[in-house]
Amino acid sequence: MCSCPYYSGAEYRLQITPEADSPVSGTINVKVRVLEVFEPITISPVLKVALATESLSIALPSTLVLKVYDRRYANDLREFYDAPELSEESEEAFRAWAPSGSGLRRTLEEWKEKRRADDELDIEPSAEETEAYLATPLASYYENEVRVYEHMVSMQGNEIPRFFGRTRFIIESHNAQPDRMTDAEVPGILVEYMEGTRLDNLSIDALSPALCQKCVDIVLAFGDNGVLNQDVRLENFIVPSSPGILPSGSENRRRDLVMIDFAQSRLRREDEDDEQWKREKWSTDEEGAIGYVLQTKCGWDYKPTYRYMVLVEE
C-alpha cells in the first residue's frame, strides 16, 4: 500500500497561481500545515490548512481549504472503475509507463470510446491504462472548478467561497519521505474556509422556509450566469456558524448560506444555442435536485419555477 500524503499534521510547500483578475502577477510560494482532512475522501482530498508563511504579496486568511485532484485517492472513482489497489510497485510501474503511454494524451471522450471498444472485444484494460483513465476526469474536474470560480467572481465571498488560486506542490528533496511523498504533478485549488454545518447535517427545525428558498435562489443564480451544475445536493451547502453582514450596494445582507464544490459543473459553451442550453438545464434539473429533496426532508412547500421547462414533442 502507498502511504497517503494527506493527513493531519502534514506540511506542504505550495506554489500558488492567483486567479486571473488578481492584482498579483506571477506565482507565490507558501507553506501550509494540515489541520484536518475532511472524511470521507470521495473524489478529491479536501484539507483544512493553516498558513505558515508571513509577509506575502497577497492577502490570505490564516485558515484555508486546499482541495487536490489526485487520481490515487479518488476513492469513489477507483471503486466504480474497479481500479487496482495502490502500492509503491504499481505507482512505479505507472510512472515508468506514463511518458510513453498514449493514454495520457486522450480526451475523456476518446477514453470512453476506447473502453467501449475494449468491452466489445472483451479486452481488460491494463492497470496503467486504468490509472491514466482516472487521471482524465480528475483533470477535467480541476479545470471545471477553476473556471466556475473565476467566472462567478461576483458571488465569491458571498454565496460561494473566495477563490485564491491554483496550486501545485513544491517537492523539497532533502525532506522527502518515501512513504509520505506528495506529487508535484497533482493540481489543487486554495479557497476560503467556511466554519459551519453542512445542510444534510442540519436539524429539520433549522431548515426554515427562507433558508430552503435561499438554496434554490443560489442554484438559479448559477443558471442565470451560464453555469450547469451536475452535482447539486445538500452536502454541498454550508450554513456558516457566524453569518456576518455583507455589503451589497445600499443594502446589507447576511451571509447565511454558502455553496461549495463545482468540480462537476461547466460553463455554457459558445456554440450552445438557447434551445440546447435549455434542454441541458431541464434534463439536469439543478433546481429540483435541491428543492424536492428539501421538500421531502423537512416538508418545505417547494414551488418549481419551471424556468427551463421543455415541452415533450408529439
Give the pLDDT mean for 111-135: 87
Low-confidence winner among 48-62, 92-106, 211-225 (lowest mean pLDDT): 92-106
Low-confidence winner among 60-64, 73-77, 170-174, 236-240 (lowest mean pLDDT): 170-174
Give the pLDDT mean for 253-272: 92
Alpha helices in the chain, H assignment, sequence order = 75-80, 88-97, 108-120, 127-151, 209-224, 274-284, 286-298
How does DSSP assign 188-246, residue by residue?
EEEEE---EEEGGGS-GGG--HHHHHHHHHHHHHHHHTTEEES---GGGEEEESS--EE
Specify the pLDDT at position 313: 60
Distance CA 299, CA 314 (A): 35
240 forms bridges with which residues in the sheet?
A: 196
Domain extents for the chain? 1-193, 196-298
Run of H or E residues at 17: strand 11-17
CA distances from 110 to 79, 137, 206, 248, 300 (A): 21, 12, 46, 45, 44
Specify the pLDDT at position 1: 57
* Band of residue 249 on the pLDDT scale cut at 50, 70, 90: very low
Quick: pLDDT tens for 154-180: 999 999 999 999 999 998 765 544 445
Low-confidence winner among 61-70, 90-99, 253-262, 305-314 (lowest mean pLDDT): 305-314
Q: Is the pLDDT of residue 287 over 70?
A: yes
Q: Is the pLDDT of residue 284 over 80?
A: yes
Helix, strand or coil, per DSSP, at residue 173:
helix
Q: Is the pLDDT of residue 217 over 90?
A: yes
Specify the pLDDT at position 250: 35
pTM over 0.85: yes
Low-confidence winner among 17-26, 108-117, 196-205, 215-224 (lowest mean pLDDT): 17-26
Q: Is the pLDDT of residue 47 over 80?
A: yes
Backbone angles phi, psi at 47, to 5 degrees: -125, 135
Quick: pLDDT tens for 97-119: 877 655 567 887 888 888 889 88
Distance CA 48, CA 257 (A): 19
Specify the pLDDT at position 154: 93
CATH number, span 196-298? 1.10.510.10
Low-confidence winner among 17-31, 126-140, 161-175, 263-277 (lowest mean pLDDT): 17-31
Q: Is the pLDDT of residue 251 over 70?
A: no
Average pLDDT, the chain: 88
